[in-house]
Amino acid sequence: MFRRLRLAAACIALLSLIAPAAAADPARNTAGPPTDYLKVTGLSRPVFEDAITESKMLPMSDGIAVYVEVTRPKAKGQFPVIAEISPYHGTIYERDGVRMLPEQGGLVDYFVPRGYAVLMMDVRGTGRSQGCLDHMGPRDQADAKQVVEWAAIQPWSNGRVGAIGHSYPGGTSVMTLAEEPKGLA
């Protein structure tokens, strides 16, 4: 609990340092269009043509199973993992990450050809997962930690897992970070 309080305090302190400086300098807020991070030089290029998608009902520590779907290159090797932990999969969104990268076809279409595994987790009580929604409560926190640690030790994983998302899945990314799972990069 103290870890989360320290993380929240650090975020508030950082925002209090940044916000006044930005407000004092209006030109700083209008320096031009936002950076298109997909046009940064040195980004990885697509090298894998074929992909494999596997799904699993992964039992959590309390016996409830959550649905996890992993799409990765259909090739030998170990890949870094990008995880989206969401209540929306299979309901208002597919498990492809299109809302994150709509012009690139989604997380799966963009990152898998570049040598990443993309993991989509349905939080408990949503999508194909069992149980009741815990709305980022203690069970959701424990589940996210367990899924990240599971992904980090899979034979197809290089042991490094990143979490991604905006809105609710962004909150689950921060929630997962606060749990300090082994393998979260």
Average pLDDT estimate for 152-179: 93
More confident of the two residues 42 and 35: 42
More confident of the two residues 149 and 42: 149
The answer to whether 93 and 126 are in contact (CB under 8 A) is no
State the distance between the two ends of the chain, measured CA to CA, in whole angstroms: 21
pTM for this entry: 0.78
d(CA 33, CA 19): 20
More confident of the two residues 117 and 3: 117
DSSP 74-131: SSSS-EEEEEEEES-BTTTB-TT-TTTSGGGTHHHHHHGGGT-EEEEEEPTTSTT--S
